[in-house]
Structure 1
Amino acid sequence: MLQDDAPFTAFAAEIFPQSPLRQVVTAACKCAEAEAIAALYQAASLAPPEALAARETALQLIRAVRAAPSSPLARMLRAYPLGSAEGLALMGLAEALLRTPDAATRDELLRDKLARRHWVRPGLPLSRALALAAGFAASPAWKLAKPFIRVAAIKVVRRIGREFVLGETMAQALARAAPLAARGYRFSFDMLGEAAMTQDDAEGFFQSYRAAILNLKGDPEIQHSPGISIKLSALHPRYTRAQRTRVLAELAPRLIALAKLAQARNVGISIDAEESGRLDLSLDLLEILCQEPAFSGWDGIGFVVQAYGKRAPAVIAFCADLAGRTNRRMMLRLVKGAYWDQEIKHAQLGGFEDFPVFTRKIHTDIAYLACARQMLALPALYPQFATHNANTIAAILAMAGNADYEFQCLHGMGEEIYNAVRALPNARPCRIYAPVGPHKTLLAYLVRRLLENGANSSFIHKLHDPAIPPETLWDDPVAESQALTPPGAPHPSIARPPEMLGPSRQNSAGLDLADESILASLAAELTAGFTTSAIPLAADADIETAFAAAQAYTPPPPGERAQILFHLADYLERHRAPLVSLLVREARRTIPDALGELREAADFCRYYATEIEHWLAETHLPLGTVICISPWNFPLSIFLGQIAGAFAAGNAVIAKPAEETPAIAALAVQLAHEAGLPRAALHLLQGDGILGAALVADPRCHGVVFTGSLEAARAINISLAQRLSPDGRPVPLIAETGGLNAMIVDSTALPEQAIADILLSAFNSAGQRCSALRLLCVQQEIAADFLPRLHAAMRELCAGPPDRLASDLGPLITKAAAARIHDYIAAMRAQACPIIQGTAPEEAEYLPPTIIEIPDLSFMTQEVFGPVLHVLRVPRAELANLPARINTLGYGLTFGAHGRIESRLRHWADSINAGNIYINRNIIGAVVGVQPFGGQGLSGTGPKAGGPLYLHRLLAHGPACKPIGQNLTTTPLGEGNEYAVRPRGVIFCKAQTPEGHLAQQQALQAAGCVMATELSPETQATLLEADETEILSFLQYLAALPGPIIPLHTLTPGAIAAGFHYNPGWLLAERSISTNIAAAGGNAALMAKI
């Protein structure tokens, strides 16, 4: 029994009250797009005289730019747009070539990107060189040509970088800025780099900002002074809402120190815009900075607002109020926004109610104009309009009159148009946003700039296209939006998060844990508390009652079962608070993990409901009574997923949950019954492994679904082998048993991205996931730099009580489990393996995140079910054969790879024996129906949970399904998901009759498998034609064999004669491949489409 008079008080203490203006900011995020944009129509509209003047100015600017010579970069981007294979290849080279340290891998990357593409473009000299290099890449002459091509390619990429970066050092940047400054341009310098991952990263960025400020000399008029743009996530390794208390305590002093240095030189600082989930933190720090007494009355503090965000007008209002309260004129830079594709993907994957950003470019344009008018009307703000769009510039000039403001542009993108703007009679000053930093820090910034330049909808893209008449470039976004049906409708190709999975299935509802109002509501729900009753253990009478009721159960038609499961999914989401509360308190799941598990449970219900909507009771016959045995690490989602699948197939279910998590199971069954699952169809029996063994051994058990240890699965298999099902076949067993899951990181991978995915894969849920990363293989050529950064980033993780929002990983399920892993770590230390550990509370059930470096794969002898990651350094020459070596471990659940050489990634994916493969992303969190989950070999029997074969395994008879090569569902934007099957391989076959032999040959041919007449270690499944006595004898022989569980599929001679066939589907191995297609800096396909 669980009882807590004051549950989640620590979580509630992490929620902070918001001022009325901040509440408005938060609320704006949830507004529907049409409603949000309708509120901006009036402010964004130009009066007729303004519109006439703006149009004439815009056309004047367009003609002036086109009359000037195009830059080489502009010509290149027109020749190779992002929608083309060549454009994507160039972006890939720009993103990865310079950071790849070893020449051999650089050569592989070049060959991968250059070959099999059509580079010739008339009138572009660079295209001839690219075409020549591509010809060498596809020929035997590559070996001789590659050193020269490599040197030339590096020069080209550095030349592209020079277009966008003012200098590798402040001295270089200031020297290049001097001629432009003499012509009247102002500058805001930006220290290149992505978010800090370690304390060393943060200290390095702090020193870079400090040195940059010391290199600048201010003007008595702050608006005339150069400025520095500060990216707050670069100054702290944990710049997230969950770590708010720590961030404010540690980052605010650093920010104040930089501001004091800038104030002393009268140099302005601007807090840069980042992802929407960080906006509240940035506003918190802006408020702290403005309220610092030392800065009272100083106008050198600035902030950046992204117009694509629905909260932009509310943020402007807050900033104006803050400036007024703190006696200053605040610099406010308005930009369109830099993370749009990331925001779309994040909201879809998170299952949020809606997007925090607009989905149409015209709506961002409307928001920009409305925000501009709002800023011009607020005296407490000094507007800074960052845009390269001639229409936007012209509209601002028309609406601003004699107001005091400036324009801003990006170095390498805006000088052409602002040279034309400066020639206008009503010209305003222009400030150039100038990135500074070494080439190795350039890459992510460079790719974002290429995306913005090359997107089809980009004004820059159209501006330089001579085929587009200037008059057609003038547009009225308000009129265009109002003409939509309905007015202000979102983009039709971008599904809202609830509809992400298509029309047939609703996406599960998630919570944005960076949203203060959502956090406050969740805290109120969780602190209400409740008490669970004592959980009775099953007695013999309970077992008899359950089996008797199950035998008497008559399933409703498939359509009715589907509606019950749809209702159950909704019901689970309405009862979020008690379920999350129990997951945290009983299963020791962190709050984000608990919410994710609830989502997965709802997804299982909806997916299986969708699968059976069109089944027929006459053709899809259930097994009868199915025993579902689930683990403690996913006590809700796996528990209910098993139940939902068995019930969907028409079976009665007897569910035995893990003995560590009885209360969660009891509540889940209670809710299932309340939602409409017939009581005769679902029976809960609580107990230990002895109970599970008794249920499996009972002849009234017609099938078993199990998730747990390999040893327990083998015991179940041996027990089931003692009898046959009522129709004379082996009793079906679906077992999922874990794995030694590996990830390979080569030298083309982006270290920051790979490290983030490694930490999430290895240490989320304290490593207590079947899919968790156990073995990291790092290319030796980068290991000396990569591994220390990984170690330092791991030390930033926070282990603590699971009811704290700040806890990244909670305790292990029991003290005994923690003790076993402590002993394992001690044993590895005794073998002289280097061990790096983070920190954790001293209580016995906690274990710090741990990295153990091993000398070879022979040290991987067991699955360590906790926060332990093994690391192996691998020379480049051994990478090609590495998946085959990993296969020798015998497991086959999940596998990951980070890199940019597509041919290498595909080779690894084709070579690895794993059910779930992840490319350039983390390897956990498979989404039901999108990435069906399950493995092979020692990792399980298949079929995959949440996949198209699963329910068919729970039928006694049914039509064969055809899943080959199908795409299962709509996929989140920015992610590619493939589902396919391939032959299992070697199949042992034995037949008594010629007809039986022919039936086996037909099944093998349909599945593409190889027949064997003798059992061997390579045997993946067996087909047997025999009488029941021989079937039973052979079944017991197979079950006793060591190694993986080998499925046996049988028919009697009589069944063969009656026309029954072996199902080829049981001879197929399912594979799910999930790829982060935005890994190289952004979703080029999406950007090109809009």
Structure 2
Amino acid sequence: MTSENFLESSIQQIGRTLAKHSKASTTTILSQRWWNDLLMDWGMRDEDFKVQLFRFVDVLPTLKTDEQFTRVLAEYFGSTPILPKPLKWSLNKLPSFWVGSHIGALVLRRQFLRMAHTFMAGDSMANAMPVLEKLWRSGRCASVDLLGEATVSESESDAYRDHCLDALRVFHDHAQRWPTNTLLEQDHHGLLPRTNLSIKISALYSQLDPADPEGSFEGVASRLRPILNLATQLPASITFDLEQYELKDVTYEIFMRILSEPDYRNFPYAGIALQTYLRDADITLDRLVDWVRQRGTPITIRLVKGAYWDAENIQNEQRGWPIPVLRHKVETDANFEYISGKLFAHPTLFRPAFGTHNLRSLAHAEAIAQANNFGPQDYEYQSLFGMAESLQHAVVQYGRRVRVYTPVGELIPGMAYLVRRLLENTSNESFISKQRDHETPLEVLLAPPQPFSVSGSPPLPHSQNVQSPFENEPHTDFSREPARQAMRHALEKVKKELGQTIIFPVPSSLGSLKDEIVSTNPSRPKDIIARIPIYAPTQVEAAIQAAQKAWKHWRTTTPDTRADYLCRVAELIRQRRHELVAWEIFETGKPWREADGDIAEAIDFLEFYARDMRRLGRPQRLGQAPGELNHLEWRPRGLAVVISPWNFSLAIPTGLVSSALVTGNAVLFKPSERSPMMGYHLFQLFQEAGLPSGVLHFMPGGPEVGKALVSHPQIHVIAFTGSKEAGLHIIQQASKVAPGQHHVPHAIAEMGGKNAIIIDETADLDEAVQGVLYSFTGYQGQKCSACSRVIALEPVYADFIDRLTQAARSLNVGAPEDPKNHMGPMIDERALLKVRQYVDIAHQEGKVLLDRVMDQEGWFQGPVIVGNIQPHHRLAQEEIFGPVVSVLKAESFEAALTMAMQSDFALTGGIYSRSPMNIQKARESFDVGNFYINRPITGSLVGRQPFGGHRLSGVGTKAGGEGYLQQFMVQRVTSENTMRRGFAPTQ
């Protein structure tokens, strides 16, 4: 018999033995286990029900009263066909009878809460200790996981550290009184502490950011060292959990770096998880092998398959990033077996711990151990609390060490953990679900997984095929070291190019431009970005005449050819993406991700409008009546003026300029005087792409130049993004027709907002705090879509505003070229002074809860949070354009909606809620152009969230969506009578 055949035979024998010992006992009707299994079975049979179940379990802890419970339960399940008739009847009928409703709510609420607690040992370490002792006395040890790891502020990170320290002390003190168990307390490396704690590094530093590995290490290490010091003293084992893939590299880096420090180099009880659903798990293990050899002290490897599979697939697909996880369960199983073998190949380096509920995976690890003469104490199996109990007992009976990963904490912060457990229980590919299906033969459960090759996801294309459907340009993944290195190199390169005087072509009749503006770095105002010559109002005429001449040829250029120019510019931006990001960081003060997102959006506009013009450029037949041929065609208007803002200094001008050009207009482009260098880069990109001379004129200058362009009688279309005051002036000017002018200029104006987010009593406050924080501090609040009003319902107002304030206090503010800083400077002194004026008003109208005045060079202002604001106050009505948010209190959801609508603007708005009824009400009544549910209200994507508002937020069709290009063109319908002498051609 070959070694492979012998191993497989051993796996089958071990698997059957364990299966025999782990046959599940029958459950009693209406017992908790019966109830749990019933819900899990429903979830496996009906995907819609599973979604509703998970969402209801997620919101369950926030429902404080029976009335709330009954109402929200009915919102989620009232129309679910798979529910048993008695439960459906109670949901539909009982609420009308108070007594019946009350009793039904009590019973159901108790059952749902007990189900949630099935996966948790207790709400505190003191309450969990009897459970941990019971595990020990049954032959199982534990690793405690403290729930509540979603920290949004440094104070919460401090609290998590303190909870870890308290947990270690309580665990150690109680465990000393337990009976001796050599199998649980000894392995081939020596002592195994009874006290074992699992931690998540994301909870130890609220500003953890893989783009900033150095700052992340310092932030985590300062709180991790006291934990390691106590673990060394007791002793206790500390295991690092793995979370989302985006945090993987920084987690391993922190783990290896801190355990290489002299104080911890010899600490033998450190461990870390390794997720085998990751395509690069093998590479990661090789990296750990090299490091442990260098360190000289063994570590524990907790081999798991991974708990974030659904999230990794969804989030990375949303972002357009390669999928880091294996796409099929069987591939993960095969990888688990492969990595298991490699673990056993290094007995002096690792303490292997196999975290699995899969009978096949467990039997495989055991067979490998036996084949290599490992003793029962040399490795262990790990299981999740509340899951696969019978299999745990079978492994104990088999004489092997079992460690139970045991969550401890309150229910609300434990919801994310609980939903992951439910996903595992109900996945159609899950071993547990197959095991629950009594019709699944043991041969199937123990069948070897098919071999596979970890080839990685297909590489993302560097450019899009013009015939392919539009896809958003992925943002840069700064969790990867090559991306960070490219960004650092670009910053250094651009820094050497600062201070130059820009030269660009102007109409020959002008000779040269006399005056100039100086663009400076808002982080260091003394540093010059560039000197740019500017137009005077009297020089506008020459550019308009040159554009008029160029337009006569450009208008006849085919739509496909015009679209090709846009695609060439998109490709040029991709080639120098990091340099453009660097220029934007220096000139406008945008942090890394904000600037990178702006450059990606510029590419999106180019690609989207190029495709849309190819569609619109083909005549559309109208009607099918015989004997006539009707065609609708789109034709350019003429000369287009583009006046763009500074806050999206490449994306917005690219969108405006490219849409005007691709539709056949000649363009006079005036960038903001606050970001002229980014406007120059856009102009240069079109020149390099080969755009015919004179079709695009770069016209930097002050407000008077813009007014001269807008008022000129030869202008046909004006595309503007900026303030309400300037936009209204443009609209008014466009309505005036000068003598001899034979057209009415078409104005497109996006003008701003006073945007609100509603937080109701069912909201996930972890998500709400982070979403609001990003929505009002992203790019220092200098976005027309930024949140400036939060309307929190009374039950959550105090908790929300306290956590938001702590989170805002924790944000890193500083020069944006350093990736640790999530907030940079205001654009200039004028913008900073405006914010300070509104802070003075805030002291008069409400209560300033936070005002982070920054005492440093540059135009810096940290977050400002104001409470006790009323809807009529200036802070609730006027656009500030800075990191200032007012928090209003509402007594009911209806009152919150009314408050949200008390504004002249209608741009963006949002809601954080887990009540289907409230979400539906907001969908119907929250009157804004872009409405967001349970996510930040900034960061729209071309094609997916076309952007724009109404009322005083603007006029025109949404940017980045179908219908936008038509604004730059006029319609022409041609009707031909095709009938001659009584016959017509077949058409």
Q: Say yes or no: TM over 0.5.
A: yes
With over 3 angstroms needed to count, the CA separation of the structure-2 counterparts of 1:677 and 1:357, relative to structure 1, is farther
SS of residue matched to 1:837: strand
Name which structure has the greater RCO, CA cutoff 8 Å, separation 6+. 1
Contact 1:78 1:465 in 2 (8 A): no
How much has 1:925 moved relative to structure 2? Answer: 0.6
Q: Would you say the 8 A contact 2:274–2:303 is kept in 1? A: yes
Does the 8 Å contact 1:559/1:614 carry over to 2?
Answer: no
Partner of 2:528: none
Q: 2:285 aligns with which of 307, 316, 328?
A: 316
What's 2:130 paired with? 175
Distance 2:928 2:701 in 1: 33
Whole-Å Cα distance in 2 between the matches of residues 490 and 104 of structure 1?
Answer: 49
The 2-side partners of 1:410 and 1:512 are apart by 32
Deviation sequence 1:102-137 (CA, Å, 0-9, x none):
66544432231231122544xxxxx74x33432236
Q: Alpha-carbon deviation of 1:947? A: 0.8
Match of 1:1033 in 2: none
What is the rounded CA distance, in whole Å, between the counterparts of 2:899 and 2:929 in structure 1?
A: 17
Map of 1:828-839 to 2, 5 A cutoff? 828-839=842-853
CA distance in 1, matches of 2:290, 2:835: 54
Q: What is the correspondence of 1:315-714 to structure 2 with a 5 Å cutoff?
A: 315-352=284-321, 354-379=322-347, 380-401=349-370, 402-403=373-374, 404-424=378-398, 428-479=400-451, 481=452, 503-529=468-494, 530-531=497-498, 532=500, 533=502, 534-538=531-535, 539-540=539-540, 541-616=542-617, 619-714=633-728
Structure 1 residue 231: deviation in Å? 1.5
- The 1:74/1:958 distance shift into structure 2, 3 A limit, reads farther
Task: Map 1:999-1078 onto structure 2 (within 5 A).
Answer: none
How far apart are residue 668 of structure 1 and its match?
Answer: 0.8
TM superposition shift of 1:46: 8.8
TM-superposed deviation, 1:497: 11
Deviation at 1:224, TM superposition (A): 6.2
What secondary structure is seen at the aligned counterpart in 2 of 1:229?
A: strand
229-238 vs 76-85, which moves further: 76-85
Distance 2:740 2:403 in 1: 81
C-alpha change, 1:746 and 1:502, in structure 2 (3 Å) is: farther
Question: Which residue identity lines up with residue 887 of structure 2 in the other structure?
Answer: V
Q: 1:103 to 1:724 in 2, by over 3 A?
A: farther
Which residue is 2:58 aligned to? 95
Q: Does 1:870 align with 2:886?
A: yes
Letter of the structure 1 residue corresponding to residue 108 of structure 2: A
Secondary structure, counterpart of 1:97 in structure 2 = helix
How many Å apart are 1:575 and its aligned residue?
1.6
Q: Which moved more, 1:573-582 or 1:466-475?
A: 466-475
Q: Where does the alignment leave 5 or more consecutive residues of structure 1 unmatched?
A: 1-44, 122-126, 961-1054, 1056-1090
2:725 and 2:222 map into 1 onto residues whose CA distance is 54
Aligned to 1:48: 5
How far apart are 1:523 and its partner, in Å? 1.0
Q: Report deviation, 1:97.
A: 1.6
Q: Give the superposition deviation at 1:280.
A: 3.0
Corresponding residue to 1:880 among 874, 894, 903:
894
Q: Aligned AA for 2:229? A: K
Query: Hey, what's the Cα distance between the residues in 2 that align with 1:575 and 1:841?
Result: 35
Match of 2:142 among 187, 202, 205: 187
Change (3 A) 1:839 1:316: farther
- The residue that corresponds to 1:891 in the other structure is 905
Cα 1:506/1:441, change in 2 over 3 Å: closer
Match of 1:118 in 2: 81
- Provide closer, same or farther for how the CA distance between residues 617 and 453 of structure 1 changes in structure 2, counting only shifts above 3 A: closer
Instruction: Judge conservation of contact 1:913–1:936 (CA < 8 Å) in 2.
Output: no
> Judging changes above 3 Å, is the alpha-carbon distance between structure 1 residues 66 and 649 closer, same or farther for their aligned structure 2 residues?
farther
State the Cα distance separating 1:723 from its structure 2 match: 2.0
Determine the C-alpha separation between the residues in 1 that align with 2:840 and 2:100. Answer: 52
- Counterpart of 1:162? 117
Structure 1 CA distance, aligned partners of 2:46 and 2:209? 33
CA change 1:606–1:841 in 2 (3 A) is: farther
CA gap 1:501/1:561 in 2 versus in 1, 3 angstroms: closer
Where does residue 947 of structure 2 map in the other structure? 933
Residue 802 (structure 1) shift: 1.9
Report the more deviating stretch, 917-926 or 64-73. Answer: 64-73
What TM-score, normalized by structure 2, do the two folds share? 0.86
Cα pair 2:848 2:867 within 8 Å, conserved? yes
Displacement of 1:349 after TM fit? Answer: 4.2
Size of the alignment, in residue pairs?
897
In structure 1, distance between residues paired with 2:670 and 2:440: 68
Does the C-alpha gap of structure 1 residues 107 and 498 become closer, same or farther in structure 2, counting only changes over 3 Å?
A: farther
Between stretches 950-959 and 58-67, larger displacement belongs to: 58-67
Instruction: Please give the alpha-carbon distance, in whole angstroms, between the structure 1 residues aligned to 2:615 and 2:128.
Output: 66
Aligned counterpart, 1:986: none
Q: 1:489 and 1:709, CA in 2 relative to 1: closer, same or farther beyond 3 A?
A: closer
Residues 844 and 673 (structure 1 numbering): CA distance in 2 closer, same or farther, change over 3 Å? Answer: closer
The answer to whether the 8 A contact 2:565-2:686 is kept is no
Aligned-CA RMSD value: 2.8
* Identical columns (%): 28
The change in CA–CA distance for 1:423 and 1:580 in structure 2 (over 3 A counts) is same
CA pair 764-603 structure 1, distance change in 2 beyond 3 A: same
Alignment-derived partner of residue 981 in structure 2: none
Contact 1:929 1:947 (8 Å CA) reproduced: yes
Give the superposition deviation at 1:314. 2.6
- Report the counterpart of residue 68 of structure 1 in structure 2: 25
1:133 aligns with 2:90: yes
1:527-562 Cα offsets, whole Å, 9 max, x none, are 123244242222243343233323453342222222
TM-score normalised per structure 1: 0.78
DSSP 3-state at the match of 1:858: coil
Corresponding residue for residue 209 of structure 1: 164
Change in 2 beyond 3 A, CA 1:958/1:415: farther
